Amino acid sequence: MHILVIGGAGYIGSHVVKALMKANHKVSVFDNLSSGLESNLFAQNKFIKADILDYAALKNALLEKVDAVVHLAAKKAVGESMQKPEMYALNNISGTINILNAMAGTGVKNLVFSSSAAVYGNPQYVPIDEKHPLNPLSFYGFTKQDIENYMRWYEQLKGLRFVSLRYFNAVGYDEEGIVHGLEKNPQNLLPIMMEAILGKRPKLQIFGHDYDTKDGTCIRDYIHVTDLASAHVKALEFLHQGGDSQILNLGTEKGFSVLEMVQATQKVTGRNVPYEFAARRPGDPAIILASAKKARQILNWEPTHSQLENIISSTWNAYQKSSL
């Protein structure tokens, strides 16, 4: 298949591109490089440097005999989405409407979309399955929920077929070290720990240690990007074989606390992670855990790279490479 990966120069996108190439698909990348990196591009793929708000550019890209689209081009900083909802509405929602319209206008039917566990909000039960009520706590999460609704309508009205993948906590780097571009301004736990080890920031602040969990710190479901990437390949193949639209959680169904992550990082890197306890971060639920049963059944997918050691060592390798 010829796949157009929109946002293919980003952190998750570049891993998806690599997995698609490995599965012998032809790939073109569409990215405005606002957060994606030129160094994440593969020389053999066509690269279109353009914005998803540019309808003509999208249409031209799709007219190159594209069989399916993977859309990962979105702003994803939760805090920023609450400060600048206009920017998130424009980029995430209007940008996706442009993609859906360009697909409808060119007859490209199959779409794999990057959604997020942020659509669920505070869990009413764990593990969270896809039937869990949706109540996003951030505007970012709302944009993902809203886009899923558009996709459902375009399915009904325009013959779109989609797989929406709700990622839990995406972590890790390509273990082969081919994709190793670091995210600009990372906001998540693992990159922050790496920066604390390397002295790029004074300390990790652990947000809250009085949660009702085994050690008082929050528990999350950390899934390796290589496992996320393989789910995209399988989702595209599923749609290609005539599968119907799906919304699927992607997680490992195992949880680790922040302190467990710190301890494992110290063990794997052999370095001290300087940290201090700080106040709870607003909107952080104590425990988030996926049920990924549906993805396992429908896509015949299994996470095989998400052992903590792999997650941490691959991240550490990417950070060490970048500080050479």
Interaction site with ligand UD1 (CB under 6 A):
76, 78, 116-118, 141, 169-170, 187-189, 192, 204-207, 218, 220, 258, 281, 283-284
Which of 262/299 has CB closer to ligand UD1?
Answer: 262
Catalytic residue among 88, 140, 167, 173: 140
Beta carbon of residue 132, minimum distance to ligand UD1 (angstroms, whole number) = 14
**Which residue lies nearer to ligand UD1 by CB, 217 or 230?**
217
Report residue 216 CA to chain centroid gap: 27
Least distance to ligand UD1, CB of residue 108, Å: 27
Bridge-based pairing state of the strands 219-220 and 256-257: antiparallel
Closest CA to 167 of 22, 279, 15: 15
Nearer to ligand UD1, 9 or 196 (CB): 196
Residue 22 CB, nearest distance to ligand UD1 (Å)?
Answer: 24
User: Per-residue b/e over 251-289, b at no fewer than 16 CB within 10 Å?
Assistant: bbbbbbbbbebbebbeebbeeebebeeeeeeeebebbbb
Residue 125 is a catalytic residue? no
Rounded-to-integer distance, Cα 48 and Cα 66, Å: 14
Rounded to a whole number of angstroms, the minimum distance from the CB of residue 54 to ligand UD1 is: 26
Between 168 and 301, CB nearer to ligand UD1: 168
- Catalytic positions are 140
